[in-house]
Amino acid sequence: MAVGLKKKGTTGAARNYITRTRAVKKLQISLPDFRRLCIFKGIYPREPRKKKKVTKGSTAATTFYYTKDIQYLLHEPLLGKFREHKAVAKKIARALGRGEAGDAARLEKHLIPKIKLDHIIKERYPTFVDALRDLDDALSMLFLFATLPSSEYVPAKTISICQKLCHEFEHYVITTHSLRKSFLSIKGIYYQATIQGQDIMWLVPYRFVQRSGGDIDFRIMGTFVEFYTTLLGFVNYRLYTTIGLVYPPKFNAKMDEQGGELSAFQLEGRSVIANGDATHNDDAPRAVNPDAQVIADKIAAQADTEEEEETIPAAVQSANEEEGTEGIDKFEVTAPDADVLPQPEASSAEVASLFAPFTFYLSRETPRTPLEFILKAFGSKRVGWDGTLGDGAFVTSESDPSITHQIVDRPTLSNGADASDAPASTNDGAAPKVQWPRSTMPGRTYVQPQWVWDCINQGKLLRPDLYAPGAELPPHLSPWVKAKKGEYDPTLSLQEQEADGEAAAFEDEEDMEDVSEVEAAKEDNGVDALLDRESSVEAGEGMDVDDSDDDEENESDEAEAAAAGEDWDGIDSDAESDISEGEAARLQHQRELEAEATGKPLEPEVGTTKSKNAAIRKKAEKKRREEEEERARQKMMLSNKKRKLLKRIEYGENKRDTEAEALRHKKRKLEKVKKAGN
């Protein structure tokens, strides 16, 4: 071979990537082991930039790994463990084959290598912030596994570890008040906490039995869980130690059995330990009487709350008095084209004071776990609940006078029931037990659970009457959506965001529809009556049905109208409209002249809404068309490359616009229905 000639496929992309099969062969492990290794080490396939070079022309679909990743794997201590495990597995299989169950058990007990992932945690997350950044999936996964029933693939031990770790993490969030947002979605409850500047969002399922059938491989999930438990353990350790707490916190198994959940954990300050060290120099530093410790902690906690109770109103007052001095002022953008600079969201002090002055009582039917977590994370120290919901409540009696807010999720009873159930409350004895919904305590606020979520998302206490039991709740909005330009924003009114002439066009359309609707109404009178009755019977859900029916009608009418529109809105529309406009102007001028001639003051022309609408619509349409033409003209001069780029951008924009428009259209229709209802 001539000097300087290089053989193909010996450098560059062809060498930097390796197929999965080759990787497995190189590591000399089985595919499942390779999978586990990849999950533990966080090695993922790559997409080579020059795929043809890598595949050497073959077009078969293959996954590629970075060769260096695999090279590093060769030195992984876990590989050795896997091999050991394989050897032991062989021995066990042999023992079982010989019918030596005892031997097999002994081998399994003593020889199965224990896999430790500590070094991998450090390797994958060189800094703590890296670990926090990657905590989203870990938390979601562990919170899911904490609620799963134990099964063949999911041992009970794993589940208990998951539960423990999750509760420990929640405790940290509560103590540091780092929860920022939460959202009730149809999937579950989203939480977002900000820890050391990192936004961590996780999803917790509602407490139902999860459907886990189908093609779900729990071995893969199990591998992830194994890694995540290790990760969260170390993260919790670091989090606890940074705020001066001892990790792991004391775990009260008995309380946990009684449904204590969060309250089964007892956080300890590190100072206590330090004192212990100082006093007891012998080898049992932890030999503190646990009961005494519990009591001491309780006292300490109470002192804390009392302190805070005292201090917080003062703080609030001061904040009210001189708002400008301490916090960050909110900069409002005055012009729409200016850049928006991000400002830090609520500080932990604000978060901690949101629910601090209140005592909450959770009714039996409310989801206790998320409410307890959120309320505590937002400053409330006193959360009580019905005894049936588990241990650890601040108060279990609903009639406790210290309760300021009661969270209920039950429909109101009609008046008749109230009277009949009254004796039941008197039966209980001395303390007159008043219970929702039969009667209400004076001075207590009754709200639905959504109130809590909306309050924390908006960072302020909302009017509780909007969330009163039985009231129709305002829509629950995701706190993460920031409406961009051109997107539909449900928090704003329609007028603020619609395009010019859109409403007018809609109204015109509706007018067209009205005619047809009236006809339709005549025809479908019977059906309508039926629907009406339905809606009166069941106020809640019947409406939906009704609405959607209307929607459909409207939709079809609309289609007709559109079709009709195309007919008459043909090619001549432009010219005609122009002509008619000119005509109108001429008439107006004529009228003015006449008025001048006769000396009468000109009466301002009172157009009908329809003509006005038409005028607005025409104007808007004209403007839009002009803009379009201008744009088309500019596009003509673009190079092919740029035109394609622009097309791609415009595709996204158009999609967004059509979505927004569809939403606005729906909203407008709903508003109209509402108006008609009024």
Partner 1 sequence: MGPNPRKRKVVTRAAPEASDSGDELADGLLDGILSHSEDDSDQSQVEDDDSDASSVIEGLSDGDEEDEEDEEDESGFESEDGEQDIREQMRKLKTTDDPSKRTISLDNGADATADGELDEQDDSAKPNYTVTTDANGNPRYIYKEIDPVYDSDDSDAADVANTIGNIDLSYYDEYPHIGYDINGKRIMRPAKGDALDALLDSIDIPKGWTGLTDPATGKPLNLSAEELDVLKRVTRNEHLEDGYDPYPEMVHYFSGVKEIMPLSAAPEPKRRFVPSKHEAKRVMKIVKAIREGRIQPYKPPEEREEQDEQVHYDVWADEKPRSDNSMHLAAPKLPPPGYDASYHPPPEYLPDKDEEKAWLEADEEDREKEYLPRNHDALRKVPGYERFVKERFERSLDLYLAPRVRRNKLNIDPESLLPKLPNPEDLKPFPTTCAAIFRGQEGRVRSVSFDPRGIFVASGGDDGYVRIWEILTGRQVWNVKLSDEEAVDSVKWRPDAETSILAAAAGEDVYMIVPFTILSPDVEQASRDILDAGWGYAASKPSTTTNGETKEPPGKWSRPGSRLESKGVLVQTTVRSNVKTIHWHRKGDYFATVSPRGQSTAVAIHTLSKHLTQLPFRRLKGIAQTAQFHPSKAIFFVATKNSIRSYDLAKQELVKILQPGAKWISSIDVHPGGDNIIVGTYDKRLLWHDLDLSTKPYKTLRFHTAAIRAVRFHQGGLPLFADASDDGSMQIFHGKVVGDMMENATIVPLKVLKGHKVKSRLGVMDVDWHPREPWCVSAGADGTCRMWN
The nearer residue to partner 1, 90 or 631, going by C-beta atoms, is: 631
Q: Which residues contact 592 (CB under 8 A, 6 or more apart)?
A: 602
Q: How far is the CB of 24 from partner 1 (least distance, A)?
A: 14
**Nearer Cβ to partner 1, position 591 or 666?**
666
480-484: list long-range contacts, CB under 8 Å, 24+ apart.
480/181, 480/183, 480/192
CA dist., res. 427 & res. 567, Å (int): 76
CB-wise, 200 or 403, nearer to partner 1? 200
Pick from 135, 132, 160, 169: nearest CA to 377: 169
Least distance (Å) from partner 1 to the CB of residue 496? 15
- Chain centroid offset of residue 177 CA: 18
Shortest Å distance, C-beta 643 to partner 1:
9
- C-alpha to C-alpha distance for 359 and 382, rounded to whole angstroms: 5
What are the DSSP calls for 262-305, one per residue?
Answer: GGGEE--BHHHHHHHHHH--SS-TT---HHHHHHHHHHHHHHHH
Smallest distance, Å, CB 391 to partner 1?
Answer: 23
Cβ 652 to partner 1 shortest distance, Å:
8
Least CB distance to partner 1 at residue 185 (A): 4
Comparing CB distances to partner 1, the nearer of 31 and 301 is: 31
Q: Given the complex with partner 1, which of 428 and 628 has the nearer CB atom?
A: 628
Q: Whose Cβ is closer to partner 1: residue 381's or residue 664's?
A: 664
Instruction: Compute the least distance from the CB of residue 123 to partner 1, in Å.
Output: 10
Q: Shortest distance, CB of residue 495 to partner 1, whole angstroms?
A: 15
Min. distance of Cβ 426 from partner 1 in angstroms? Answer: 28
Q: What are phi and psi of 338, to 5 degrees?
A: -80, 155
> Shortest approach of partner 1 to residue 129 CB, angstroms?
9
Please count the CA atoms within 13 angstroms of the CA of 17 that sit on its side-chain side: 20
Whichever of 610 and 666 has its CB closer to partner 1, that residue is 666
Q: How far apart are CA 276 and CA 279, in angstroms?
A: 5
- Give the whole-angstrom CA distance, residue 227 versus residue 459: 35
Pick 133 or 250: Cβ nearer partner 1: 133
Residue with Cβ nearer partner 1 (3 or 637): 637
Instruction: Name the token pair of 275.
Output: 């004192």
Strand 445-447 with 405-407, pairing: parallel
**How buried is residue 101: exposed, middle or buried, by Cβ count under 10 Å (0-12/13-18/19+)?**
exposed
Query: Which CB sits closer to partner 1, 128 or 296?
Result: 128
Residue 185 or residue 317: which is nearer to partner 1 going by CB? Answer: 185
Can you read off the two tokens belonging to residue 393? Answer: 């409540």
Residue 572 CB, nearest approach to partner 1 (Å): 8
- Which lies closer to partner 1 via its Cβ, residue 129 or residue 602? 129
CA-CA distance, 43 to 63, in Å (whole number)? 12
- Long-range contacts: 187-190, Cβ < 8 Å, 24+? 189/370
- For residues 11 and 634, which CB has a smaller minimum distance to partner 1 in the complex? 634
Q: Which residues pair with 407 in a beta bridge?
A: 362, 447
Find the DSSP H helices in 49-134.
51-55, 67-73, 77-97, 101-111, 118-124, 128-133
Structure tokens at 155: 């041992």
Residue type, 301: A
CB 181 to partner 1: min, Å: 9
Please say whether the beta carbons of 169 and 238 come within 8 A: no
Q: Distance between CA 361 and CA 288 in Å, rounded?
A: 34
Nearest-approach distance from CB 610 to partner 1, in angstroms: 26
User: With respect to partner 1, which residue has the nearer C-beta, 333 or 545?
Assistant: 545
CB 653 within 8 A of CB 486: yes
Our CB check for partner 1 shows the closer of 168 and 381 to be 168
The residue whose two tokens read 């400008």 is: 324
Q: How far is the CB of 450 from partner 1 (least distance, A)?
A: 6
H, E, C per residue of 468-532 = CCCCCCCCCCCCCCCCCCCCCCCCCCHHHHCCCCHHHHHHHHHHHHHHHHHHHHHHCHHHHHHHH
First to last CA, the chain: 91
> Rounded to the nearest whole angstrom, what is the least distance from the CB of residue 475 to partner 1 in the complex?
4
Three-point CA angle 59, 63, 65, nearest 5°: 125
Nearest-approach distance from CB 537 to partner 1, in angstroms? 16
Measured from the CB atom, the residue of 212 and 258 that comes closer to partner 1 is: 212
Q: What angle do CA 233, 237, 238 make, to 5 degrees?
A: 120
Taken in order 132, 136, 137, 139, is the CA torsion positive or negative? positive
- Note every long-range contact of 71-78, with CB atoms under 8 Å and residues 24 or more positions apart, other chains counting: 73/23, 73/27, 73/37, 73/41, 73/43, 74/26, 74/27, 76/37, 76/41, 77/119, 78/37, 78/40, 78/41, 78/115, 78/120
